[in-house]
Amino acid sequence: MDIKNFNATMRYNAFGTTGWQVSKIALGTMTFGQQNTEQEGHRQLDFALERGINIIDTAEMYSIPPRAETQGSTERIIGTWNRARKRRQDFYLATKIAGPGGMADHIRPDMGYAGGQLRSAVNRSLERLQTDYIDLYQLHWPERQANFFGTRGVSALDGWEDNFLTVMQDLQALQREGLIREWGMSNETAWGLMRALHLAEVNDLPRPVSIQNPYSLLARGFEVGLAEVCLRENVAGFPYSPLAMGRLSGKYLRGEADPSSRLNQFTHYTRYNSENSLAATQAYAAIAEKHGLNMSQMALAFVTDRAFTASTIIGATNLEQLTVNIHSISLYLNEEVLKDLEEVQNRFPNPAV
């Protein structure tokens, strides 16, 4: 099945080895169910499709911040919209299974990806989403101990038993049954992605087609290792948090952020609140002003036009923000702007990695 939802003002990219042509902007939905009501979520979904967005990203853990009482609410909101609109053929639907870790222990008794966990999670997501299949099924984070979500110092020598092969065999079974079309990774390392690609090749298993990691002007760690893997192995870069949890929108600098704003709600994202993150953000704001650019659009255009980026996940809590973010697709950064951005990166390298 080929998605036919195209719009002249949107731009499209190949999505790895899938053969899909996806909009260079994807709609992120993690606010549906807490910061956004069901009605607001439906409006955002309608608005996005009308403007040529044809890929929607969610997760079983959403809405965010994760709570037992709101777990699955985002998928349910997408599901009621999907049932009402009957436009399933017009978009690619991506969701994620949560791995082990304290933030998601309320989802299933035994968190992980092996031993029937994938099948159980897929079936529940299908039910909430009110669909027969998931286009892109992603592992939300590694099962093993690794450095992600801003952590540091995790040892790779933790006694973890490599079960990549078992997990990939289970994904293949789900794919053969038509429950998922492709699978991808998220918050993964270059080693993890290459491990999966190698096992897929030598065992004739479906390869991961995408990787969804954070990437923004404040967090460019993806460029070291993962970018090369994506380009050489034809894996779709599917970056999230291109505005660094809203920091790069400039609203925190202007004092416009209300108590419901993301960084005010999610206080554990301290890397976005560091002294260097603030200093770099101020410098990026000055560049936007110098060149007469909207700061959010400048930051999004930078991410969207990276060679390894297939589609950039954007989110918003209102249609005004969503409109500004979608319109970033028409912005091309010239060499002078890019040079100025690199100078800030050199002064404050990756303050939010």
- Residue 297 within a domain: no
By mean pLDDT, which of 54-63, 104-113, 203-212 is the weakest? Answer: 104-113
- For strands 55-57 and 92-97, give the pairing: parallel
Question: How many Cα atoms occupy the beta-carbon half-sphere of 77 within 13 Å?
Answer: 31
When pLDDT is cut at 50, 70 and 90, the band that residue 215 belongs to is: very high
Distance CA 194, CA 229 (A): 7
Considering only CA atoms, which of 287, 281, 314 is closest in space to residue 300? 314
Q: Give the pLDDT of residue 98.
A: 93
Dig out the tokens for 266 from the structure: 């999610």
Please check the confidence at residue 150 and state whether its pLDDT lies above 70: no
Distance CA 155, CA 309 (A): 29
CB atoms within 10 A of CB 219: 22
- Residue 135 within a domain: yes
Q: What is the CATH number of the domain that holds 161?
A: 3.20.20.100
Q: Give the pLDDT of residue 154.
A: 64
- Residue 339 within a domain: no
Q: How many structural domains is the chain composed of?
A: 1
The better pLDDT of the pair 271, 48 is held by: 48
pLDDT in tens, 173-199: 999 999 999 999 999 999 999 999 999
Mean pLDDT of 164-172: 96
Cis check: omega of the bond before 63, within 30 degrees of 0: yes
List the beta bridge partners of residue 309: 237
Domain that holds residue 216: 12-244+309-331
- Residue 261 within a domain: no
Mean pLDDT of 335-341: 99
Please check the confidence at residue 297 and state whether its pLDDT lies above 90: yes
- Residue 348 within a domain: no
pLDDT in tens, 67-119: 999 999 999 999 999 999 999 999 999 999 998 876 777 888 778 898 899 99
Q: What is the mean pLDDT of the chain?
A: 91
- Residue 161 within a domain: yes
By mean pLDDT, which of 109-118, 203-212, 278-287, 307-316 is the weakest? Answer: 109-118
- Residue 235 within a domain: yes
- Residue 70 within a domain: yes
Portion of the chain with pLDDT greater than 70, in percent: 88
Distance CA 252, CA 18 (A): 39
When pLDDT is cut at 50, 70 and 90, the band that residue 162 belongs to is: confident
Please list the active-site residues: 62
Are 312 and 234 within 8 A, CB to CB? Answer: no
232: enclosing H helix or E strand? helix 226-233
pTM, two decimal places? 0.92
Q: Give the pLDDT of residue 262.
A: 57
